[in-house]
Amino acid sequence: MAIEIRKTLLQVETILIEGGKAAPIPLKLYAAMAVVKNPWAGQGFVEDLKPEIHAAAPVLGELLTRMIIDAVGSGDQVEAYGKAAVVGLDGEIEHASALIHTLRFGNHYRTAVGAKSYLAFCNTRGPANAPVMIPLMDKNDEGRRSHYLTIQTSIGDAPGAGEILVALGASVGGRPHHRIGDRYQDLKDLGNDVSNPASV
């Protein structure tokens, strides 16, 4: 069954001043979102989600990736990236997870931006105008704290009870005045191995 897309939205945010101080280089944040009919809505508990995942996730991954790349200009310019989904109140968290936690969705974006790290993510359930939180991290360096960012937004009429809002996020730049260092210094100070940060 083909995915039914009700609307898309592209948001571009430019941060010029942070903490009362001008940013040396403005931070640009991009969010590409699609509001789709929940393919499992009204069916009760569905045991096998795979057929709808295979039909919908590649379409959404390609669409949202194209929206981000067209807005940013190229995949090379994307520095941090992430994904999110908000399922409407008649759906399960698993429905939101199903559409974004598959390589059929995320690999479109990873390939387009040449990423090595995993896509940071957030899955929630809520009504129309629910917060959409898209966590970001450096596409190649999971310990680069300057690029730990979150895009917070919403869509006034989405998700409807029987819908899912699916989103990709990107940044060009990191936090304007980042000054908390990276994870590697903490690991060194604690005597932990970078490859085994929890020392387990």
In CATH, what number is assigned to the domain containing residue 16?
3.30.1330.110
SS3 (DSSP) at 56 = helix
Show Cβ contacts of residue 90 under 8 Å, excluding neighbours closer than 6 positions: 38, 41, 42, 161, 162
Given the structure tokens 């944040």, which residue do they identify?
A: 29
Is pLDDT at 200 greater than 70 in this prediction?
A: no
2-6, 34-38, 189-193: least confident range: 189-193
- Report yes or no on 183 lying in a domain: yes
| Domain with 66 in it | 5-190
Given the structure tokens 């210094």, which residue do they identify?
A: 185
Alpha helices in 44-118 (DSSP H): 50-72, 93-100, 103-113
| Amino acid sitting at position 184 | Y
- Report yes or no on 182 lying in a domain: yes
- Report yes or no on 107 lying in a domain: yes
pLDDT tens-digit profile of 103-118?
999 999 999 999 999 9
- Report yes or no on 197 lying in a domain: no
Q: Quick one: average pLDDT of 10-27?
A: 97
- Residue 119's Cα: distance from chain center in Å? 7
Q: Quick one: average pLDDT of 76-81?
A: 98
- Report yes or no on 198 lying in a domain: no
> What's the residue count for the chain?
200
SS3 (DSSP) at 110 = helix
- Report yes or no on 180 lying in a domain: yes
Question: Which H helix or E strand runs over 21?
Answer: strand 21-37
**How far apart (Å, rounded) are the C-alpha atoms in residues 53 and 87?**
15
Q: What is the CB-side half-sphere exposure of residue 80 using CA atoms within 13 A?
A: 27
81 touches 113 (CB < 8 A): yes
Instruction: Please tell me the total count of domains within the chain.
Output: 1
Alpha helices in 38-180 (DSSP H): 50-72, 93-100, 103-113
**pLDDT band at 44; cut points 50, 70, 90:** very high
Q: Quick one: average pLDDT of 128-143?
A: 96
pLDDT tens-digit profile of 164-190?
999 999 999 999 999 988 888 888 888
